[in-house]
Amino acid sequence: MTTTADTRTMPRRTVQTHCPYCALQCAMNLTVTERPGEPDTFAVEGASFPTNKGRLCRKGSTAAELLTRRHDRLTSPLLRGEDGELHPASWEEALGRVATEIRRIQGERGADAVGVFGSGGLTNEKTYALGKFARVALGTAQIDYNGRFCMSSASKASTLAFGLDRGLPFPLTDLDSACTVLLLGSNVADTMPPFVQHLEGARATGGLIVVDPRRSNTAELTAEGGGLHIAPAPGGDLVLLLSVAQVVLEEGLADADYLQQRVSGLDSFRRSVTQWWPERAQSLTGVGADQIRLIARRLGHAARAARNGGDPVYILTGRGVEQHKDGTDTARAAISLALLLGLPGTRAGGYGTLTGQGNGQGGREMGQKTDQLPGIRSITDPSDRAHMARIWGVEPEALPGPGRPAAQLLHTMGHDDGVRALLVHGSNVAISAPDAARVVENLRALELLVVADFFLSETAAEADVVLPVLQWAEEDGTMTSLEGRVLRRRKLVEPPSSAPGSEGPGTGAPDSGPRSELWIWHELARRLGCSSTFPVEPAEVFAEIRQATEGAAADYSGLDWQLLDDGHAAYWPVPSALLGGESSLTGEPIIGTSRMFLERFAHADGRARLIAITPGRTPAPAPGELTLTTGRHMEHYQSGTQTRRVTALLEAHPEATIAVHPATALEHGLEEGADAVIANAQGEMTARVVWDAGIRTDTIFAPFHYAGQGTANLLTRALTDPQSGMPEFKNTPVTIRPAGVAGAARSETTSSKETTP
């Protein structure tokens, strides 16, 4: 047994890096203690950094536990044998099979028969290389990623309104001085707890307004100081925002000078909201007319004071209002309200959307989104195509066009009109995609499924080939946080090896342990006869990113690897490496553009855009139906592939639950702590009932982290926003009954089922 004194004399190494989970990208010090003859031990502590100020949530503070797991860590490729089971194989065998099958399938069915599915958790370097690999080595248009399920509606809305998509177009620390914050559809107290400290100013003045159909932990923050919790009916956010805008205009609370100087389309927008006076809106939103007027007046008066030198006002949105079939319109309505108040691009406040995944911002900038090229270039723009073709050494006409967005890609795969092979990197679509049973069925219909992961996720378990890859502390790279800040992720340890005597991935030994995706794509491109180069060192890929994004909206060309390694604050766009001033909070040197739109918006005329917004009809729930909305627990992340393997996190929430109002539970015969079944035309979910007096009686809530019969996305539908491709995760009609009680035939719920082409 090693004593404390012994441990202190053992070799230790520490790096400052960033958390492997959400887009807050909290800074942390990660320390490894080498123990000869025994497994290394790891310690994590929060590091001083503007976004987290030394704090970590439970996920971040336990992140190092995943580095010590050996019994279920993938350490060699797996191939599915004739017996139907997965068996260890060499890298040569695994990559050989992948390349052979890709050539066969594309030879028989064309380049678009092979698809690629990426992740908002990949580093910028891997995101960039994945998009390049798909379009150059495979020549396929069929690439998209799980960020389509996260940021796509807000991204589209920001692009339409501002001409540019950056989640927070201002530093997160600007929120510290806010007097008023309207937070719609985001439970930051659970999803990114260190964020909450940036709301303290608004809480203290009673200016925190939280919109959520349940009284989440974030909504509880309004209890002190006179804040507001507004609980609209599921799907009622769009009309609520339009009604608030109507009051702002009707009562003269809009900033007329700002609108005249910096915004186009006011008349059209004004006409579209005229019909949404509060007394009419309350019947569709479930929010009283008096509350609607109260929100408008609080925002309007606070914004007017901010324009006259008072504390700023911010409007922030999250997935709760964006993961709908009208999510783009809802996000755009929130932006429109911010524009009416004269906030974006001023010191009076602003609008922002809270990116969820660790590299959700960089993940959509670097080219794995089906309609985008690196730098947020458009794949249909001739000049953008020519620029990227020059960087990649191909002819512009050789680059494919846009493919299918994620939900359509997954729901058509395995069939004649869809891809016949899919390469999945960093995503667990068997849990995270809508209509999950259909997705799993389609995965099994593929001729080739390749999954790269570091654990055997539910998606990897369906694969023909599983490729073991590196974890966060085993590789270098860059990430771009929710505020558009480019950060360095630093390597601390070598990954485990499956080959006795191997020195790890850097040796080039074909049978050594997990490898970087950069190496995998390099090797596959070589086997496929691709003439373009695919560097395997992250710093070399980053140098190519600088060239690829030069002159683009998301310009990284003024950065370099060493500059980021030295800890400078770097916010894109960075057209040059000149220092641009200092942060008002920390005094740290800033490179790039920390605050966007101060002089002009990104449209050609420099003006932001308002347009008419007309809500579509949302069918009322059928008799006996409730509305299911999904979300996260504090202790878990995404599909749970990582957090369900961390002991303390799993013990906190070991199984799926269903939050139900006590009155609803009594009406449906549900006992607290007993199992219940939620059902609709897509399928059934079984989970333990938790009574929650803070949720609306017409709504039930389930987390989406769990596998098996606890998978919430067995119920969510394939409905998508026509502008963004975002699935409707937050508004699913269901019935509920105690487990063991026979349910109605599925055909009885098909009246509320809608489909997409």
Residue 671 lies in a domain: yes
| 703, pLDDT greater than 60 | yes
Of 415-419, 476-480, 589-593, which range is least confident?
589-593
**CB atoms inside a 10 Å sphere around CB 674:** 13
Confidence of residue 34 (pLDDT cuts 50, 70, 90): confident
Q: What is the mean pLDDT of residues 182-209?
A: 96
pLDDT digits (tens, 9 = 90+) for 78-117: 999 999 999 999 999 999 999 999 999 999 999 999 999 9
Q: Are residues 156 and 266 in the same domain?
A: yes
| 4, pLDDT greater than 50 | no
Query: How far is 406 from 369, CA to CA, in rounded Å?
Result: 9
Confidence of residue 498 (pLDDT cuts 50, 70, 90): low
| 201, pLDDT greater than 70 | yes
Q: What is the pLDDT of residue 590?
A: 77
Query: What are the CB-based long-range contacts (under 8 Å, 24+) for 285-291?
Result: 285/232, 285/233, 285/236, 285/237, 285/239, 285/240, 285/243, 286/231, 286/232, 286/233, 286/236, 286/696, 287/230, 287/231, 287/232, 287/236, 287/240, 291/228, 291/230
Q: Are residues 274 and 388 in the same domain?
A: no
Q: What is the mean pLDDT of residues 741-752?
A: 47
Residue 39 lies in a domain: no
Going by C-beta distance under 8 Å and a sequence separation of 6 or more, which residues neighbour residue 473? 17, 20, 30, 42, 64, 67, 491, 492, 493
Query: How far is 679 from 748, CA to CA, in rounded Å?
Result: 11
Q: What is the pLDDT of residue 753?
A: 31
Last residue of a domain, one of 563, 581, 609: 609
Residue 269 lies in a domain: yes
Q: Are residues 209 and 219 in the same domain?
A: yes
Q: Are residues 334 and 393 in the same domain?
A: no
Contact between residue 72 and residue 645 where contact means Cβ atoms under 8 Å apart? yes
Q: Are residues 703 and 718 in the same domain?
A: yes
Q: What is the mean pLDDT of residues 349-368?
A: 93
**Taking Cα atoms as reference points, which of 216, 231, 228 lies closest to residue 286?**
231
Q: Are residues 325 and 200 in the same domain?
A: yes
Contact between residue 673 and residue 688 where contact means Cβ atoms under 8 Å apart? yes
Residue 678 lies in a domain: yes
| 538, pLDDT greater than 50 | yes
pLDDT digits (tens, 9 = 90+) for 167-192: 999 999 999 999 999 999 999 999 99
Domain count, the chain: 3
Percent of the chain with pLDDT over 70: 93
Residue 598 lies in a domain: no
Q: What is the pLDDT of residue 10?
A: 62
Q: What is the mean pLDDT of residues 651-673?
A: 95
Query: Does residue 476 come out as left (phi exceeding 0), alpha (psi in the -120 to 50 range) or beta?
Result: beta
Q: Are residues 168 and 232 in the same domain?
A: yes
Contact between residue 241 and residue 272 where contact means Cβ atoms under 8 Å apart? no
Q: Are residues 351 and 388 in the same domain?
A: no
Q: Are residues 175 and 261 in the same domain?
A: yes
Contact between residue 314 and residue 175 where contact means Cβ atoms under 8 Å apart? yes
| DSSP string for residues in 97-164 | HHHHHHHHHHHHH-GGGEEEEE-TTS-HHHHHHHHHIIIIII--S-EEEGGGGTTHHHHHHHHHHHSS
**CB atoms inside a 10 Å sphere around CB 607:** 17
Cα distance between the two ends of the chain: 63
Q: Are residues 352 and 377 in the same domain?
A: no
Decide: helix, strand or coil at residue 377: strand
Note down the domain range covering 691: 626-752
Q: Are residues 275 and 234 in the same domain?
A: yes
Query: With the C-alpha atoms ordered 435, 441, 446, 450, is the resulting torsion angle positive or negative?
Result: positive
The CATH number given to whatever domain includes residue 110 is: 3.40.50.740
Structure token pair of residue 183: 């937070």
The CATH number given to whatever domain includes residue 658 is: 2.40.40.20
Q: Are residues 112 and 219 in the same domain?
A: no
Structure token pair of residue 216: 């989440």
| 503, pLDDT greater than 50 | no
Contact between residue 675 and residue 686 where contact means Cβ atoms under 8 Å apart? yes
Q: What is the pLDDT of residue 265?
A: 98
Query: How far is 723 from 506, CA to CA, in rounded Å?
Result: 44
Confidence of residue 5 (pLDDT cuts 50, 70, 90): very low
Q: What is the pLDDT of residue 224?
A: 82
Residue 522 lies in a domain: yes
Residue 442 lies in a domain: yes
Residue 279 lies in a domain: yes
Structure token pair of residue 148: 């389509």
Rg (CA), the chain: 25
Q: What is the pLDDT of residue 744?
A: 54
* 39 vs 705, higher pLDDT: 705
Contact between residue 297 and residue 278 where contact means Cβ atoms under 8 Å apart? no
